[in-house]
């Protein structure tokens, strides 16, 4: 993990201020921006004793590395929310709560990952799991698109995804993958049990070994002319089927 993380934009910086202000090293602001939103942010920084510096547009562009920054960029220490799936599952067992995980097999678009994290937070996902070698990391674009969810949902990258999935199964987590050709629909899944939704990459879908490791494959009903959904939208559809079932009295 890199020793420094770049947070660009109000959502990413203010989320870190709420959850882990001590991890922020310094913040750079465009003080030419005098609106109420910037003033509130300055007040929050000062209340948290976080150093901030005035910076011109060129300096901010260089720090943000092409990400839309809205006049604010922070440099922070990475903040791991969990170090392993076992740690997440152990905590859930202590609370007597069924796991809800999201596995992303090779999502490389930072906008898709950011949207997946945002939906995962909204749906109460306990962790998002992805392979190290075929996935985008938590870069500044992901942080901005996630609107703070990167600071609330553990994002775990693993060396061998198939091995991790088998380990989840050994801990009684039911692995449900999505496949357009699956004979059963997602509404037939028993989502009250501990489970992980397994989603494929943009365009390619799940890799063969990932698909074969799933306990169950289901399809998302498609009533129109398009053949598939964006991975972040598909994740939202599946996760909220779990939310619907778990909120419906048995």
* Confidence at residue 219, expressed as pLDDT on a 0 to 100 scale: 92
Domain ranges of the chain: 5-76, 85-247
Q: What number is the average pLDDT over the span 191-208?
A: 90
Of the options 3.40.50.300, 3.40.1280.10, 1.20.140.10, 3.40.50.1370, the CATH number for the domain spanning 85-247 = 3.40.1280.10
Quick check: 76 and 5 in contact, CB under 8 A? yes
151-178 per-position pLDDT tens digit: 889 999 999 999 999 999 999 999 999 9
107-156 per-position pLDDT tens digit: 989 999 999 999 999 999 999 999 998 788 888 889 889 988 888 899 99
**Residue 209 pLDDT greater than 90, yes or no:** yes
Quick check: 179 and 217 in contact, CB under 8 A? yes
- CB neighbours of residue 66 within 10 Å: 10
**Residue 223 pLDDT greater than 90, yes or no:** no
Comparison of pLDDT for 77 and 196, the residue scoring more: 196
CA–CA distance from 115 to each of 134, 171, 226 (Å)?
18, 28, 21
Q: What number is the average pLDDT over the span 208-213?
A: 94
Q: What number is the average pLDDT over the span 69-88?
A: 86
Q: List the binding residues for S-adenosyl-L-methionine.
A: 200, 220, 229
**Mean residue pLDDT across the chain:** 90
Alpha helices in 20-132 (DSSP H): 36-47, 57-64, 85-95, 110-123
* Confidence at residue 244, expressed as pLDDT on a 0 to 100 scale: 96
**Residue 226 pLDDT greater than 80, yes or no:** no
**Residue 2 pLDDT greater than 80, yes or no:** no
Measured distance CA(207)–CA(192) in Å, rounded? 26
* Confidence at residue 1, expressed as pLDDT on a 0 to 100 scale: 46
Q: What number is the average pLDDT over the span 85-106?
A: 92
Quick check: 56 and 30 in contact, CB under 8 A? yes
Buried b (16+ CB within 10 A) or exposed e, 152-176: bbbbbbbeebbebbebbeeeebbbb
Quick check: 73 and 8 in contact, CB under 8 A? yes
The mean-pLDDT minimum among 2-16, 46-60, 88-102 falls in: 2-16
Note the CATH number of domain 5-76: 3.30.1330.30
**Residue 239 pLDDT greater than 60, yes or no:** yes
Kindly tell me the burial class for residue 4, based on how many C-beta atoms sit within 10 Å of its own C-beta (0-12, 13-18, 19 or more).
exposed
* Confidence at residue 242, expressed as pLDDT on a 0 to 100 scale: 97
Q: List the binding residues.
A: 200, 220, 229
Q: What number is the average pLDDT over the span 21-49?
A: 91
């Amino acid at each position: 993990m890199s020793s420094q993380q770049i947070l660009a934009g109000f959502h990413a910086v203010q989320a870190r201020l709420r959850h882990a202000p001590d991890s922020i090293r310094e913040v750079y602001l465009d003080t030419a921006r005098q609106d109420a939103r910037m003033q509130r942010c300055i007040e929050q920084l000062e209340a948290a004793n976080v150093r901030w510096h005035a910076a011109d547009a060129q300096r901010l562009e260089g720090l943000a590395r092409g990400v839309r920054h809205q006049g604010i960029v922070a440099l922070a220490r990475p903040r791991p929310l969990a170090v392993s799936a076992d740690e997440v599952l152990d905590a859930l067992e202590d609370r007597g709560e069924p796991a809800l995980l999201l596995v992303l097999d090779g999502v490389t678009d930072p906008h898709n990952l950011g949207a997946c994290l945002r939906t995962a937070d909204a749906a109460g996902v306990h962790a998002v799991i992805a392979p190290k070698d075929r996935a985008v990391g938590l870069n500044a674009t992901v942080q901005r698109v996630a609107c703070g969810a990167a600071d609330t949902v553990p994002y775990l990258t693993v060396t061998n995804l198939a091995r991790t999935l088998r380990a989840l199964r050994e801990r009684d987590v039911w692995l449900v993958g999505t496949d357009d050709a699956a004979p059963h629909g997602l509404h037939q899944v028993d989502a009250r049990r501990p489970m992980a939704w397994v989603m494929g990459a943009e365009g390619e879908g799940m890799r063969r070994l990932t698909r074969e490791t799933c306990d169950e494959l289901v399809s998302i009903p498609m009533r129109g002319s398009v053949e598939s959904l964006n991975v972040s939208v598909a994740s939202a559809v599946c996760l909220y089927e779990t939310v619907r079932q778990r909120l419906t009295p048995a």
